[in-house]
Chain A
């Protein structure tokens, strides 16, 4: 269903469907087709469910390890936003398309099939971590998966993503870059510099704004003159799509329409995913800037995992199957945590390695 959303709405559970696409129908500008909610097979939805559940359980455990002092520094959890990374990345072609994001990156890595053990071991700062313990929560990469980070400077991943997209176009490898950033990063100047060049050069990139309502502690309506983020590409003639980021099948369906548009050589596209994070901005954030009721209401009415679970049950999947999936995932996460707790810290000599690639 496509409709024009009202201006500056108060935060409320997102609509059940994709709510808007720009430019409006009848415009002369190229326009992505209206996305359809993905019609998943039972196996497909089960797969999405497992991935979302893995992210949730992984993040819960990470939060716990942080509380125990096993994870240090900044740690930003993805709980509540799972449907975004899972829905979008399930539509990409691994090994061809590239992904880049900010510091809230654990979920995107798990959604790209990266081993939870090496991610958790990075969080605990161990030598077996994916960055050999030198990156931490915000700085993780897997070039093998074409996952390019994991960037700690808010908004920096957007021009970097445009650079990856430039590479796809330059080498004609057929790939598309998916560059994620938040509603907070969407106010950084470099984002618009990137929009301009991406549109000018028709780079194959999908700009994904994960709008979880808060730039750290600042509500969207207090930080953004235009709160409908999917309109933020208007000045650059970049079409926008607003998507219910709490429904994995809506997200997947929208991703397909977006990819079709971008792979068609039409240049960039902007997707606003309306989502919500249940936890604070980082582990040290008590989230006093919003009411407990607001959070509870989102959990009760819009939880992406509960929604998928209900749909699976409707499809005929048994409670028992779902329970056994949950059990398996808990086991996977426990093993990752054990690995991360028991594997050794980096060797002191690693302090001096990897500063430069070559020797001079």
Chain B
């Protein structure tokens, strides 16, 4: 029986990769454990090992090929004594790529794979950020690179800035966000820590109190719960408790929110937790330009910052203005799409879902205005309320739990300060109120999606 060798998924979020190098050729006999090829993901180069024994009869994807989809057949193996087989006419995709569960009615858009969670960049150009001059040249950059560029630029500018965390230096970052920093800045300023979040968060806060500008990376914010005492009690409260005498200009950054199929302990949005704390700045950008401009602002500010990234958008490319010093204002929301019928308020990966829903709604004659909050504390309530004044309808979209959420806060703001502008109750579309399950179908059911957003929009527009 001929065996198809398929492009492997080498991380929970990998969709495609580069077949960098074949280490075997047609006719070679391979045994279990032999290294067949080197495969490059956006995070690392991995070795691909044989599981089955036999003869390589056909190599279907040449080395050096980019964007090979996970599950694509890359070679064929024949067991001993078999003829060289030809590949099946149509390679069946990896089983994970097509969940078996039937989606519920009204939830047909529910995504499981992050390719679906993060829709393509919308066709309509976003309203340009007021901080970017007209005519600025744009460069397509991944969010991952934008974050790295922000740190590198600030490190070049200010010797007090250093980066510390698990695997940030020699490993180049668990998610490759700090790629290349060790090479440029050396071990004095790019520091690998032991696995000891509470300890190094405290060291970061202490170094900031002493006058440095630490950027503390958490491999994910799930692990920052071990360190939350220093983020809240040491960093956020010091300036107030000291009567303005002692500052703590530290940045705590890392991926936040659900990744893909990593289960409850690794999938949580901490935005509402940190945004409830006076003394902290909380930033949760969506695209590359905001990631760069706001991280630079975060490093420069005198206040402690929690900077919430999202693993699922790290690899996506967006335009970044080619400016020498692209710094954005903290505390200012951004209108991502103009519209007059309803306001969609979101942040981080939720913006992608809101934009996707807006495009689909446009096809049904509903023009949604999409606001990316960008900063969760302080909240730009002015932009939100101005939009509400225009549309009179609002839906909040949040990849996170519903209870005591950013959505709850936005709804309270609308009630307290925008009540007279409301033609319908403000609705929130969030994840389900459960720990995130592992099973593909259950995970899909638990996560916010554009179908649910569309349903809520139709409800507030009385179109359902």
Contact residues of A with B, CB < 8 Å?
98, 100, 129-135, 139-143, 148-149, 151-153, 156, 158-164, 166-168, 170-171, 189-190, 193-194, 196-197, 200-201, 353-358, 360
Decide: A139 and B205 in contact? CB cutoff 8 A: no
A356 to B280, CA, bound (A): 8
Decide: B207 and A159 in contact? CB cutoff 8 A: no
Which residues of chain B have C-beta atoms less than 8 A from A139's C-beta? 241-242
Which residues of chain B have C-beta atoms less than 8 A from A163's C-beta? 202-210, 214
Interface segment among B229-237, B364-372, B435-443: the answer is B229-237
Which of the residues B202, B214, B243 comes within 8 Å of A354, measured between beta carbons?
A: B243
A122 to B201, CA, bound (A): 29
- B93 beta carbon closer than 8 Å to chain A: no
CB distance from A336 to the nearest CB of B (A): 18
The interface on chain B, measured as residues whose beta carbon lies within 8 A of the other chain's beta carbons, has a size of 48
Given contact pairs A170-B212, A196-B199, enumerate 5 new A-B contacts (beta carbons under 8 Å): A143-B246, A355-B278, A358-B301, A358-B302, A360-B331
Residue picked from A100, A158, A164, A189, most chain B C-beta under 10 Å:
A164
Decide: A156 and B245 in contact? CB cutoff 8 A: no
Decide: B202 and A194 in contact? CB cutoff 8 A: yes
Q: Number of contacts between A and B (CB, 8 Å)? A: 154
Which of the residues A98, A143, A357 comes within 8 Å of B302, measured between beta carbons?
A: A357
A87 to B207, CA, bound (A): 26
- B85 beta carbon closer than 8 Å to chain A: no
Which of the residues B199, B243, B329 comes within 8 Å of A130, measured between beta carbons?
A: B243
Instruction: Report if A354-B244 is in contact (Cβ < 8 Å); known contacts: A193-B196, A197-B193, A360-B331.
Output: yes
Contact residues of B with A, CB < 8 Å?
162, 188, 191, 193-194, 196, 198-212, 214, 229-230, 233-234, 238-247, 249, 278-279, 281, 301-303, 329-331, 375, 378
A143 to B238, CA, bound (A): 12
CB distance from B306 to the nearest CB of A (A): 13
CB distance from A150 to the nearest CB of B (A): 8
Decide: A148 and B229 in contact? CB cutoff 8 A: no
Which residues of chain B have C-beta atoms less than 8 A from A161's C-beta? 206
Decide: A162 and B206 in contact? CB cutoff 8 A: yes
Which of chain A's residues has its CB closest to B214's CB?
A163
Which residues of chain B have C-beta atoms less than 8 A from A149's C-beta? 238, 242, 246
Which of chain A's residues has its CB closest to B192's CB?
A200
CB distance from B278 to the nearest CB of A (A): 5
Decide: A132 and B244 in contact? CB cutoff 8 A: yes
Which residues of chain A have C-beta atoms less than 8 A from B196's C-beta? 193, 196-197
Which of chain A's residues has its CB closest to B206's CB?
A163
Q: Can you list 17 A-B pairs with a CB-CB distance of less than 8 A? A: A132-B243, A148-B246, A156-B229, A160-B203, A160-B234, A162-B206, A163-B207, A167-B211, A168-B210, A170-B207, A189-B198, A353-B244, A357-B249, A357-B302, A358-B302, A360-B281, A360-B331
Which residues of chain A have C-beta atoms less than 8 A from B281's C-beta? 356, 360
A217 to B210, CA, bound (A): 34
Which of chain B's residues has its CB closest to A165's CB?
B206
Which residues of chain A have C-beta atoms less than 8 A from B201's C-beta? 159
Decide: B243 and A135 in contact? CB cutoff 8 A: yes
Which of chain B's residues has its CB closest to A153's CB?
B233
CB distance from A105 to the nearest CB of B (A): 12
Which of chain A's residues has its CB closest to B198's CB?
A190
Which residues of chain A have C-beta atoms less than 8 A from B205's C-beta? 159-160, 163
CB distance from B5 to the nearest CB of A (A): 43
A130 to B242, CA, bound (A): 7
Which of chain B's residues has its CB closest to A188's CB?
B198
Decide: A135 and B303 in contact? CB cutoff 8 A: no
Which residues of chain A have C-beta atoms less than 8 A from B194's C-beta? 193, 196-197, 200
CB distance from A102 to the nearest CB of B (A): 13
Decide: B203 and A166 in contact? CB cutoff 8 A: yes
Residue picked from A98, A148, A159, most chain B C-beta under 10 Å:
A159
A139 to B279, CA, bound (A): 16
Decide: B243 and A134 in contact? CB cutoff 8 A: yes
Instruction: Report if A131-B199 is in contact (Cβ < 8 Å); known contacts: A156-B233, A163-B206, A163-B209.
Output: no
Decide: B243 and A129 in contact? CB cutoff 8 A: yes
Which residues of chain A have C-beta atoms less than 8 A from B240's C-beta? 134, 354-355
Decide: B210 and A167 in contact? CB cutoff 8 A: yes
Decide: A360 and B199 in contact? CB cutoff 8 A: no
